[in-house]
Amino acid sequence: MPTNILMPALSPTMTEGNLAKWLKSEGDTVEAGDVIAEIETDKATMEVEAVDEGVLGKILISEGTQAVAVNTPIAVLLEDGETANDIGEVDAAPAADIPCVPEVQDSDSVTQTSNDAEQHAGATIENRDILYAQGVIIEPPPFDEASFTDTEEVTVRVALRDAMAEEMRRDGDVYLMGEEVAEYNGAYKVSEGLLDEFGAKRVIDTPITEHGFAGLAVGSAMNGLKPIVEFMTWNFGMQAIDHIINSAGKTLYMAGGQLGCPIVFRGPNGAASRVGAQHSQCYASWYAHVPGLHVLAPWSAADAKGLMKAAIRDPNPVVFLENEMLYGEKFDVPTDEDFVIPIGRAKIERSGADVTIVAYSIMVGKALEAAKALEAEGIDAEVINLRTIRPLDRFTILESVKKTNRIVSVEESWPFSGIGAEIAALIGEHAFDYLDAPLARVCAKDVPLPYAANLEALALPQTEHIVNAAKKVCYAD
Amino acid sequence: MAKSKTKKPAKSKAASNSASNPSIDEMKELYREMLLIRRFEEKAGQLYGMGLIGGFCHLYIGQEAVVTGINSVQQKQDTVVTSYRDHAHMLACGMDPKGIMAELTGRVTGYSRGKGGSMHMFSKEENFFGGHGIVGASSSIGTGLGFAHKYKKDNGVAIAYGGDGASNQGQVAECYNMAALWDLPILYVIENNQYGMGTSVSRSSAGSLYKRGEGYGIPGEQVDGMDVFTVQAAARQALDYVRSGNGPYILEVMTYRYRGHSMSDPAKYRSKDEVNTFKNDRDPIAMIKGMMVDGGMAEDDIKVIDKEIKEIVAEAATFAQESPEPDAHELWTDVLVEVDA
């Protein structure tokens, strides 16, 4: 019986790929192990090998086809004695759904962020950092985001790359260091092309030695350079946490202001897809705990671009938490090279009157989906994208909850001592009398992230959890 | 002492004075420097005993020849970073004893405005990058200082001091690898005072510390750290090697601290005899003083230096006691570089 050759999944997060090239033609005999085609994934171009012997009876997906879903039949393999006439109708749809793989991957669709929601004007405030440390509620820095009207559609991945490239062109002291950032073009292609443009002096492949190269980068920052340190994922950055906190975060204070550490530590944070407990942790609350660090967590490509530029220009150490699942997602991004989002300023992604939903990183998208679902049920949700975790834009959160009187916090991290816990404390201290319902937190379940697809989905916050939490605080459940 | 050969041609080194007839002036300068460190540390010990210095306080007494010898052959653009036994490195690189002592007493006139303490002082002006309290961190930070020298092509060499105990930290090996891989201009100085707190090197470390770079192709050398001229000669050669673009170098300097690990350490893990052998027979300051006398310098001339040093230290101690504590508002400043917003 003819066998279908299916579009293979070639990375943990791949849901579709491009059929770049056929290396065999119809009628060719193939042995198991022969390379039959090349497929471009979100990360690389991969060779596909035949798993069985036979004759390539029919090519179903022609070379050059983009966005072929995983498990779609791409060709038919004939056994001995079979001919093309034996091939029946082949269903071009994917043979089976892959459970729980995220929906968005380098899709052609563009996630629309709205600039309609009215933002706080913000204010220029002297000694902002001191007031923040003292817990004073201050307006965020001013920023007229709506004035950046010229935009282009790019993925988060490209936005990050462009931000780094623009800042590297602007300042010769900025360099990028990390595992596979140069010749491999980045494990997630975030640094693609940077080696070609800036050369090996400024785009540096490191050995797998996080503690060492983080400390090295800190030393170079003290001696006048502006390093961007990529951790292949933040899970590996845990090896380097001593230098991030003790060497980068505390030096300015310990030096009485004499010597600082302008450095960006960046990389994907949080869960990817089915990569297990050690590769799926969110570090937002870990680093947000530390005075002396700035902690940024972009959601959209515009966030990624504007915050990355802010991070590189910041004279302070910055922990920059990206999300692998968002790398391939497209958004409109301002083209102006001066699009630099102020650190410490949240964005109101959607205005609403009934309930405030506060989220960061990938959960902003889920919060917006939830808001849409809630709208259908007559609940008007306001969605705040934190953008910066530390210093937290307490003002924007409080103003929102004073208006809606109900709040749900959403994070991909664990509940205990999480960002939601901090927001709960903020609300308890400053908006207690405004609440019409107790705050609700939507977090990952308090367990290491499991591998099994069903358990993973149960462990991570989903849109419906946000919807349910919002309904609960609106007493509409 | 010993030498591990790799890129560098082998050369045997005498166990003691290898310098070629230093002049009286040179000797005076080194004597002065070492005496300043010793008297400063003794005074710090006293102030600690009086409750004027708090927390941890790690004294350098006995080890003076190490940093003095190396500093004497550094160039101005070179950078220095060390661990927590750091007062001597600051004095050697030209930082003001008053500012250091005032930091020890936690006063606003201290180098870190009283917010760093004994282990955390810095001077951009004198290219001194701390003062780090985490064992092993100075190796990585130092490697980064070297990386920046190479990036900026400023002909500088980074000198990263660390103890024998730090040699067993993983990040030290990580940095040896990167420094060798990228030919970074860095001199790793292992101040081997034979004890990581209470654990002797023989109980903590396999093999020889100066050979730890062999696998990476980093030449290493072990020298007598009680003789300032031996240290000086070895450092001169090592710095030349590094500055010429050959990559890193490891200098293991055999030394001894007379006091405990910190002020609160009774140092019961070693015998009085062992300490006295170093104090009485190997003392670096007594040795150079003897050479000066042998070289024809009058005892009275030496006393002039002693008096001058005593005055500098007394002045620093007075300054450190009379300076005010930081104002309460200092609690909040310098957490972040304030950006206009």
Q: Which amino acid is at A233?
A: T
Instruction: Average the pLDDT over A430-444 and give the result.
Output: 98
Least confident piece of the model among A78-92, A206-220, A388-402? A78-92
Q: Note whether B112 and A184 are within 8 A (CB).
A: no
Task: Closest CB to A291: pick one of B141, B174, B335.
Answer: B335
Q: Which amino acid is at B222?
A: Q
Single out the catalytic residue among A139, A210, A230, A349. A210
Token readout for A51 is 């798993």
What is the predicted pLDDT for the residue at B327? 97
Instruction: Note if A47 is an active site residue.
Output: no
Instruction: Average the pLDDT over A348-363 and give the result.
Output: 98
Shortest distance between the Cα of A304 and any Cα of chain B, in A, equals 20
Residue A45 has pLDDT above 70, yes or no: yes
Residue A448 has pLDDT above 70, yes or no: yes
What is the predicted pLDDT for the residue at B62? 96
What is the predicted pLDDT for the residue at A425? 98
Task: Closest CB to B341: pick one of A141, A217, A255.
Answer: A141
Give the phi and the psi of residue B24 in degrees, each rounded to 5.
-60, -40
What is the predicted pLDDT for the residue at A14? 84
Shortest distance between the Cα of A80 and any Cα of chain B, in A, equals 55
> ipTM strictly over 0.85?
yes
Instruction: Give chain B positions within 8 Å (CB) of A128.
Output: 338, 341
Taking 50 as the pLDDT cut, the residues of chain B under it are: 9-18
What is the predicted pLDDT for the residue at A138? 97
What is the predicted pLDDT for the residue at B11? 39
Q: Minimal CA–CA distance to B157: which of B193, B117, B127, B197?
A: B127
Single out the catalytic residue among A230, A279, A349, A382. A279
All structural domains of chain B with their residue ranges: 3-8+24-315
Q: Is A212 on the interface with B (CB under 8 A)?
A: yes
Instruction: Give chain A positions within 8 Å (CB) of B177.
Output: 207, 209, 212
Shortest distance between the Cα of B161 and any Cα of chain A, in A, equals 14
Q: Note whether A435 and A405 are within 8 A (CB).
A: yes
Residue of B120, B140, B152 to mutate, interface with A, max A Cβ within 10 Å = B140
What is the predicted pLDDT for the residue at A329? 96
Shortest distance between the Cα of A393 and any Cα of chain B, in A, equals 13
**Nearest chain B residue (CA) to A239:** B171
Q: Note whether A287 and A319 are within 8 A (CB).
A: yes
User: What is the dihedral sign for C-alpha B324, B329, B331, B335?
Assistant: negative
Contact A219 B144 (CB under 8 A): yes
Q: Which amino acid is at A471?
A: K
Instruction: Note if A153 is an active site residue.
Output: no
In terms of C-beta density within 10 A (0-12 exposed, 13-18 middle, 19 or more buried), how is residue B299 classed?
exposed
What is the predicted pLDDT for the residue at A82? 82
The B158-163 sheet, strands edge to edge: B3-4, B220-224, B249-254, B186-192, B158-163, B79-82, B128-131
Contact B337 A315 (CB under 8 A): yes
Q: Which CATH class is domain B3-8+24-315?
A: alpha beta
Instruction: Give chain B positions within 8 Å (CB) of A220.
Output: 144-145, 147-148, 151
Residue A384 has pLDDT above 90, yes or no: yes
Cα separation, A77 vs A56, in Å, equals: 5
Residue of A144, A253, A263, A294 to mutate, interface with B, max B Cβ within 10 Å = A253
Contact A209 B177 (CB under 8 A): yes
Residue of A120, A175, A223 to mutate, interface with B, max B Cβ within 10 Å = A223
**Domains parsed from chain A with CATH numbers:** 3-86 (2.40.50.100), 148-334 (3.40.50.970), 347-473 (3.40.50.920)
**Nearest chain B residue (CA) to A293:** B336
Instruction: Average the pLDDT over A404-430 and give the result.
Output: 98
Q: Minimal CA–CA distance to B127: which of B82, B54, B198, B77?
A: B77
What is the predicted pLDDT for the residue at A100? 39
In B, residues 8-67, which contact A (CB 8 Å cutoff)?
Answer: none
Residue with tokens 């034979």: B194
Residue A165 has a CB neighbour count (10 Å cut-off) of 16
Instruction: Average the pLDDT over A192-218 and give the result.
Output: 98
